């Protein structure tokens, strides 16, 4: 009786063990597959991230390339503008050679501007704003050359030394320097130069080119300068700024 009752139990144990083994193997297989899926997803995400980074890098490089090309174009334009100004400077020197050789005029660059510098002693009697005979002859020659540059604007600037003046006509050096500049402008207009291309300004003794402590220095400071007003289109970066 006992043997008969135990037989089914003995037979059932191997079956149960087999089920447990199969379930454990299945779980491991599922875990392995899940691991592979997770790994593939990670690789996919890494590839996507790498692609995004590559695109961002390409965008940055393109932007830098465009900026560099724009800078090069601007530098080229500025170099060409400088060459044009130097050519104009040389042309003025050549055209005014006789006056320069005679010491009646200088063609100079100062503060980034091309200037024709005429000693006041050549143009005006001392303490006076009326042109002398020599001054009229000199300015007539200057006007003849300037007429070739009607597309340019000019500022006529008057300067004095630091010796104060106080007369019935000019109560200080500001009045004298301004009056002399206006006289030169009016003379150039009378010679046919367009009035809307000219302006006048007086600087008194506030912009010396030499020391006022010596007679020679004071003589150099008493002068008229005809300044070529820069064309802003020659300054590429500034010209591109929007109007206020």
Give the span between the Cα atoms of 217 and 180, in whole angstroms.
20
Give the span between the Cα atoms of 153 and 113, in whole angstroms.
12
What does the DSSP 8-state code read for residue 148?
G
Give the span between the Cα atoms of 3 and 140, in whole angstroms.
147
- Indicate the pLDDT class of residue 91, thresholds 50, 70 and 90: confident
- Indicate the pLDDT class of residue 13, thresholds 50, 70 and 90: very low
Q: What is the mean pLDDT of residues 125-137?
A: 94
Supply the pTM of this predicted model: 0.63
The closest of 139, 175, 181, 135 to 157, measured between CA atoms, is 181
Higher pLDDT, 121 or 149: 121
Sign of CA dihedral 204, 209, 212, 215: negative
- Indicate the pLDDT class of residue 26, thresholds 50, 70 and 90: low
| Residue 122 in tokens | 């050549």
> Are 115 and 109 spatial neighbours (Cβ–Cβ below 8 Å)?
yes
- Indicate the pLDDT class of residue 178, thresholds 50, 70 and 90: very high
Does residue 109 register a pLDDT over 50? yes
| Backbone phi, psi, residue 106, to 5° | -125, 145
Q: What is the mean pLDDT of residues 203-221?
A: 96
Looking at residue 135, what is its pLDDT?
94
Give the span between the Cα atoms of 59 and 74, in whole angstroms.
23
Q: What is the mean pLDDT of residues 59-84?
A: 76
Angle between helices 173-190 and 133-146 (to 10 degrees): 60
| Backbone phi, psi, residue 155, to 5° | -110, 120
Give the span between the Cα atoms of 222 and 160, in whole angstroms.
4
Give the span between the Cα atoms of 188 and 196, in whole angstroms.
12
Q: What is the mean pLDDT of residues 6-18?
A: 45
Mean pLDDT of the chain: 80
Strand order in the sheet with 198-202: 106-110, 113-119, 223-229, 153-159, 198-202
| Cα–Cα distance list, 32 to 7, 8, 35, 40 (Å) | 39, 37, 5, 12
Does residue 24 register a pLDDT over 80? no
> Are 129 and 176 spatial neighbours (Cβ–Cβ below 8 Å)?
yes
Query: Which pLDDT tens digit goes with each residue over 39-67?
Result: 777 777 776 666 666 777 777 777 777 77
Looking at residue 23, what is its pLDDT?
56
Q: What is the mean pLDDT of residues 31-44?
A: 74
């Amino acid at each position: 009786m006992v043997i008969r009752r135990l037989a089914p139990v003995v037979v059932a144990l191997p079956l149960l063990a087999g089920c447990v083994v199969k379930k454990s193997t299945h779980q491991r297989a599922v875990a392995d597959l899940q691991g592979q899926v997770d790994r593939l997803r990670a690789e996919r995400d890494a590839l996507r991230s790498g692609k995004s980074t590559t695109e961002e890098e390409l965008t940055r490089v393109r932007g830098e390339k465009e900026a560099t090309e724009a800078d090069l174009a601007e530098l080229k334009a500025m170099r060409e503008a400088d060459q044009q100004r130097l050519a104009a400077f040389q042309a003025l020197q050549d055209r005014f050679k006789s006056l320069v050789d005679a010491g009646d005029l200088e063609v100079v660059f100062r503060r980034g501007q091309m200037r024709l510098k005429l000693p006041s002693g050549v143009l005006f009697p001392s303490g006076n704003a009326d042109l002398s005979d020599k001054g009229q002859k000199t300015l007539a020659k200057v006007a003849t050359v300037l007429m070739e540059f009607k597309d340019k604007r000019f500022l006529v600037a008057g300067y004095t030394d630091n010796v104060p003046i106080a007369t019935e006509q000019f109560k200080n050096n500001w009045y004298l320097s301004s009056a002399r500049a206006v006289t030169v402008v009016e003379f150039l207009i009378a010679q046919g130069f367009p009035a809307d291309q000219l302006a006048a300004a007086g600087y008194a003794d506030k912009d010396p080119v030499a020391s006022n402590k010596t007679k020679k220095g004071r003589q150099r400071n008493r002068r008229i300068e005809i300044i070529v007003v820069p064309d802003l289109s020659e300054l590429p970066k500034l010209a591109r700024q929007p109007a206020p």
